[in-house]
Structure 1
C-alpha cells in the first residue's frame, strides 16, 4: 500500500510538472514558484517528452544488464539501450536516496529542470518512466564525454580545432540555461565528464541532477548540503553554499583550462589545475598552458582569447567574474579590452586565488573527485 500511495502521489506531481510546474521540497521554493508564475507572461510550452513503459526500457537495456552500464554517479546509474525502432537511448535510473520521498523529489526536480529545455548544446530529454522505479530517458551520445575523449591515453590527442569548437558550444549551452530558458537554470556541476559529444562533436551539457532554478527576483540562493566536484567549485559556493549564474561561470573557467592544458581539474596527487595555471596566466606565458601533446599545432589568437576568458571566470570574487552573455560575446570574437576588466588595486590585493594545493585536508563527503565517472548519457 505504501508503494501504491507513493506512486499515486508521483503521478499527480508528474502531471503538474507536465504543465510547467516544478516539484519543490522546501517551503521557500514553493513560495518562489508562485511568485515566478505571476511574472511569466506566456504559458509554458507543452513538453515534447513522453512516458515510456517499464517493458520498453527493460527490453531496450536487456534487463538493465551490467554490460549496458555506461555511467554511474552519486544518485544514479545510466544504461545504454536500443528501442524497438532502432533508436539508441540512455536510461538514467535513480539508485540511492535516504528515503523514497527524497528519491522521488530528486527525480521530479531533475525532470522539472530539464523537461522544457531545448537547445543544440544541451542533452535532449526523450521521456521518463515511473513504472516499478524512476527513470529518465535521454538521447545517447555515442562519442562519449569530453573527459573520455580528452584524457584517453590510448587515443591521439584531441585536436585544437575541436577543443575550440567544444568551448564555444558549451558557452552557448550555458548561456541558454542562464538567459534563454523560461526560468534561470544553475547547473552546479559543469565539468568535462558532463559535457557530451554528438556524432559531429557538438558539445551538449548533460546531467542536471544538481541543477536548480532561480526566480527572476532572486539574485542568488543558499543551498545545503554542498555538492559538486573538487577543483570546479566556486569559493562562495564551497564556503557558504551560495549559488547563482557566477557559480557556473567559475566552473566554465576551469573547464576552459582543462581543454587547453589536457590536465584534469584535480590530478592523481590531488593537485589543483588552478594552482598550476595561475602563474602562467599572471605572467602572460600562456603557451605554457597548452597541452604538450599538441606541440605547436594550435591557434595563438584563439589561445589568447580562451586564456583571457578563463582568467576572468576563475576570479575568486563573483562580482568580478563576467556573465555568460559576456563570456559568449568574448568567445565569439568580441573585442577584448583588458582594461575594462581590470579590478581596483585594493580588490586585486584582497583577491585570493581559489586553488587548493592539497585537497585531502577538506571534507569530501558530498563532493566528487574530478575524474569520478558521472551519470552521463554516453559510452564512457
Structure 2
C-alpha cells in the first residue's frame, strides 16, 4: 500500500509540473525552450490512467519515458485527469517545479522534431556493450552534471555517451528533455551531432566521438603543441557555430557554457560545439533572460551574468573572447593559481604588447595579421559592458 501511494505521489508530482509548464506556455505564445518531446510527454496515453489506483508500483517514470519516445501518440492533453485528492502534494509540487519556468516553455511548432527524427533509440544493453559496462577506463569526462564515456557501436563507430546525473529523477528528466530538444533542432558542421538517446537505466545522450577529443585536451594536455593554423581554424569555426545558434536557427539559442572543454575536434581539427546542458532558448521579442540559479564555468562568465543573472547572446560573445585569448596565449581561462586570463591579458592588450601575449610554444610560426585580428576580436568581446560587445556575426566577420 505504501509503495502504491509513493508511486502515485511521484506521478502526481511529474503531472503537476508538466501542467504548470503548459499553463505558462498558454500565456507566452513565443517559445523559449525545446518542446517536442515534452509536448508529446503531455499527450501520451500513460497519463490518462493517472487518476486510477496504481496497480503496478514497479512501473517507473523511466519506463513511461521509453514508451513515450518509442510511440507517436497524439492523444490530447484535455483528457488528462489528475488525482486532486492529493491536493497538498499538488501544491507542493507546483512550488518545487517553479524553478523549471526559466528553462521550459511549450509551443505547438516543435513536436515533429523528435517524433520524426532519424535518431536512434539505444537500449541500456546497447550502451553497456559499447562502453564495456561503463568501465572507468572509458570515462573521458566527469562534472557536476554528467559523466561522459567513450564507446564503440557494433558497426565500429566511436561514440561519446553522456549520462546525466544532476539532481533527482524528475530534474534529470527535465535536463535530458531540454538538452535533447535543443540538439534535435540544430544542424551545423560546427555543432556536435546527436546520434541518438537512451532512457533505460538513466538518461543518456549518444553523440559522435571526435577523434582528437576536446580543445582543452589538445591545447593543454597534448605533448605536441597545436599549430597556429589549427588554432585559427578553430577560432573561425567556433564563431561560425555561434552565429548559427544565435541567428541561423529558427529560434535563438544561447549556449551559456562556451569553453575549451566544450569544443570537440574532428579528424581535420574542425571545431564542434557540444554540451547544451545549460543552453537556453531566447524568444524573438525578448532581449534577455534573468536567471536565478548560478551555473557556468568561472573564467568564462560575463560580468552582467555574475552580478545580475542576465543571459543573452552577449553571454556567449564574452565566453568566445576568453576562448580566443586561450588560443593566442596558450593559457587557461583560469589557471591553477586562480588567476583570470582576462585580467592578465587586458593590460597587455591596452598597451599593445602583442608579442607578450603570444604562446611561446608557437616559436614565431604564425601569421601576424591573423594574430592581430583574433586579439582584436577578443578585446571587443570581453568588454565589461555587454552593450559595447559586438554581435557574433560582427565578431566572425
TM-score bucket (shorter structure): 0.7 to 0.9
Cα deviations by residue, 1:215-247 (Å, 9 ceiling, x for unpaired): 111111111211111110001111111101100
Q: CA deviation at 1:268?
A: 1.0
Question: How far apart, in 1, do the equivalents of 2:294 and 2:242 lie?
Answer: 21
* Aligned partner of 1:150 among 219, 239, 242: 219
> What pairs up with 1:233-248 in 2 under 5 angstroms?
233-248=301-316
Question: How far apart, in 1, do the equivalents of 2:388 and 2:223 lie?
Answer: 38
Cα deviations by residue, 1:56-112 (Å, 9 ceiling, x for unpaired): 111111111111111112111111111111111111111231x21111111111111
Q: CA deviation at 1:29?
A: 5.6
State the match for 1:232 in structure 2: 300
Q: Is the 8 A contact 1:123 1:204 kept in 2?
A: yes
* Aligned partner of 2:194 among 106, 110, 125: 125
Question: How far apart, in 2, do the equivalents of 1:251 and 1:54 lie?
Answer: 36
State the match for 2:231 in structure 1: 163
State the match for 2:372 in structure 1: 304
Larger Rg computed on CA atoms: 2
Q: Secondary structure at the match of 2:377?
A: helix
> What pairs up with 1:70-109 in 2 under 5 angstroms?
70-97=140-167, 99-109=168-178
Q: Is the 8 A contact 2:102 2:291 kept in 1?
A: no
1:201 aligns to 2:201 (yes or no): no
1:6 aligns to 2:61 (yes or no): yes
Deviates more, 1:307-316 or 1:293-302: 293-302
1:210 aligns to 2:270 (yes or no): no
Aligned residue-pair number: 319
Q: Secondary structure at the match of 1:151?
A: helix
Q: Secondary structure at the match of 2:129?
A: helix
Q: CA deviation at 1:295?
A: 2.1
Question: How far apart, in 2, do the equivalents of 1:28 and 1:137 lie?
Answer: 26
> What pairs up with 1:6-25 in 2 under 5 angstroms?
6-11=61-66, 14=69
State the match for 1:62 in structure 2: 132
Higher RCO (CA < 8 A, seq sep 6+):
1
Q: Secondary structure at the match of 2:185?
A: coil
Distance 1:167 1:29, change over 3 A: closer
Distance 1:172 1:240, change over 3 A: same
Q: CA deviation at 1:44?
A: 5.2
Cα deviations by residue, 1:121-166 (Å, 9 ceiling, x for unpaired): 11000000011211100001121111111112x6132111111000
Question: How far apart, in 2, do the equivalents of 1:216 and 1:284 lie?
Answer: 39
Question: How far apart, in 2, do the equivalents of 1:75 and 1:139 lie?
Answer: 19
Distance 1:43 1:86, change over 3 A: closer
Q: Is the 8 A contact 1:25 1:105 kept in 2?
A: no
Question: How far apart, in 2, do the equivalents of 1:27 and 1:69 lie?
Answer: 33
Q: Is the 8 A contact 1:71 1:79 kept in 2?
A: yes
Q: CA deviation at 1:47?
A: 2.9
> What pairs up with 1:257-272 in 2 under 5 angstroms?
257-272=325-340
Q: Is the 8 A contact 1:313 1:322 kept in 2?
A: yes
Question: How far apart, in 2, do the equivalents of 1:28 and 1:278 lie?
Answer: 34
Question: How far apart, in 2, do the equivalents of 1:269 and 1:161 lie?
Answer: 29
State the match for 1:256 in structure 2: 324
1:134 aligns to 2:203 (yes or no): yes
Q: Is the 8 A contact 2:258 2:319 kept in 1?
A: yes
Distance 1:256 1:72, change over 3 A: same
Structure 2 unaligned residues grouped into runs of 5+: 8-57, 75-96
Write 1 or 2 for the structure with the bigger share of helix.
2
Q: Secondary structure at the match of 2:59?
A: helix
Q: Is the 8 A contact 1:17 1:112 kept in 2?
A: no
Question: How far apart, in 2, do the equivalents of 1:116 and 1:18 lie?
Answer: 21
